[in-house]
Amino acid sequence: MWRIVLLLLPLPLIAEEAVGRLNLAGYKHREMCSGTLVAPDKVLTAAHCVISVIDGYAKPLGDMVFVADWNGESHKGAARIAHVDIHPGAFSNARFMIENDLALVTLDQPLDISPLPIGTGALPGPLTLIGYQRSAPHRQAITPYCYGAPDYGLWRIACRVEPGQSGGPVLNEAGEVVAIISAVQEEQALAVPVDGWLRDALSASGR
């Protein structure tokens, strides 16, 4: 049903292929977030997915795998993580700063998938949210026709999200990534808009 809804939107059909699960599995723990391929070897996600919000230390890279367009049976591509760049303002003065909850993950190999472009200016919407929910981790949840407003450096978007969707993209009408899902509050999404740090990081990598 979610995919039928997406076809009604003026979004490129490649959007769902570029979105995937960021899996973190290690000794006595298993976590998942969402992420978006924004270059053949770069995945945009939430900083709290790859660092500890308690001390700012990076989670073990060896435990992380990005799986694009996982649907419970197949995927469009998968790669391990070679490097993680965290927004410089994500952890400051021994505190996690949710308004800078952005991270750019470098894969150990490029994926043969069309990445999604980074866009600008999308509020109030309509916006589309994509991600993997913990209650249904083997399929993408795609929620169109969402609207939002600024909220102390974040975007509060009046569409329901669940844990697991952290790091998933917020798309504008053109199918461009304009923010990422960071948290849920009162069943609404709190999203971090993309900023100059991300654009500079992608530009420095030649993307």
Q: Which domains, and CATH codes, for the chain? A: 7-13+116-194 (2.40.10.10), 16-107 (2.40.10.10)
Strand order from edge to edge, sheet including 127-133: 136-146, 127-133, 169-171, 177-185, 188-193, 154-157, 148-151
Distance CA 43, CA 61 (A): 14
Question: In terms of Cα–Cα distance, which of 157, 161, 167, 152 is closest to 184?
Answer: 161
Q: How many CB atoms sit inside 10 A of residue 5's CB?
A: 13
Give the predicted TM-score (pTM) of the model: 0.88
Question: In terms of Cα–Cα distance, which of 90, 75, 176 is closest to 130?
Answer: 176
pLDDT in tens, the chain (207 residues): 333 333 334 444 457 889 999 988 644 556 788 999 999 999 999 999 988 778 777 787 777 899 998 887 888 889 999 999 999 998 888 788 899 999 999 999 999 999 999 998 789 989 999 998 888 888 888 999 999 999 988 999 999 888 888 899 999 999 999 999 998 888 789 999 999 999 988 888 766
